[in-house]
Amino acid sequence: ETGVTQTPRHLVMGMTNKKSLKCEQHLGHNAMYWYKQSAKKPLELMFVYSLEERVENNSVPSRFSPECPNSSHLFLHLHTLQPEDSALYLCASSHAQWGTGELFFGEGSRLTVL
Amino acid sequence: DQQVKQNSPSLSVQEGRISILNCDYTNSMFDYFLWYKKYPAEGPTFLISISSIKDKNEDGRFTVFLNKSAKHLSLHIVPSQPGDSAVYFCAATRNNNDMRFGAGTRLTVKP
């Protein structure tokens, strides 16, 4: 098992669909993150969960809804998305009390909204 | 508000030469800086970091330099190898929950 696993790797959905992205980490970390990567833009931090409590929400539209049921799993629920939401969504994990500040990323879920 | 900037979207160097990737930041409160490397179809992976109390950190072929007065850091790769071809992201953080990334620089190392 790789450290951080994301499913599905690719997702195509219509604007009226409801879908979810899943992230699972096997590193014993207790902080998890969702980042959005759009073409030629910096990675944008969307949500942070530390010790299963949400500590950051960077003004993300409500059509994105995160869920962190335990320290190993993180979901991003998607509802009535817009075409401009098409992007690579990256999950990451780390120790809540960082020493090096290092994030461990999954391979990403490529989302296309039609 | 883009607090971390990588102004060169791409860089091409010859194998064996030095690669220098640059990064500028605007927030003087950042206290830790990192470089990540990303291959196609993979997530970014941590490469090297530096604390704001230092001005240089070296790890094998990779060296990161920090100039706090200029709010500038750079990553030097020497000698460059074809396997170093990837997108390199600069990142900065001021606490453990707020890491900001640049847009990335695509490095191509030609054999």
Chain A residues in contact with B45 (beta carbon < 8 A): 105
- Top residue of B96, B98, B105, B106 to mutate, by most chain A CBs within 10 Å, is B96
Please give the pLDDT value at position A2.
66
Contact A48 B103 (CB under 8 A): no
Q: Min CA distance, B45 vs chain A (Å)? A: 7
Chain A residues in contact with B39 (beta carbon < 8 A): none
Mean pLDDT within B78-86: 97
For A7-27, the pLDDT digits (tens) are 999 999 988 889 999 999 999
* Joined tokens for residue B21: 């990737």
- DSSP conformational letter for A102: -
CA distance A48 to A87: 19
Q: Percent helix, strand and coil across chain A, each rounded to 5?
A: 5, 55, 40
Residue from B12, B2, B17 nearest B108 by CA: B12
Query: Which of A55, A96, A103 is closest, CB to CB, to B99?
Result: A103
Residue from A95, A106, A55 nearest A71 by CA: A95
Confidence tier at B33 by pLDDT (50, 70, 90): very high
pLDDT at A32 over 70: yes
Torsional sign, CA A58, A61, A62, A66: negative
Question: What is the rounded (10 degree) CA torsion for B53, B55, B59, B61?
Answer: 160
Mean pLDDT within A22-47: 90
Confidence tier at B97 by pLDDT (50, 70, 90): low
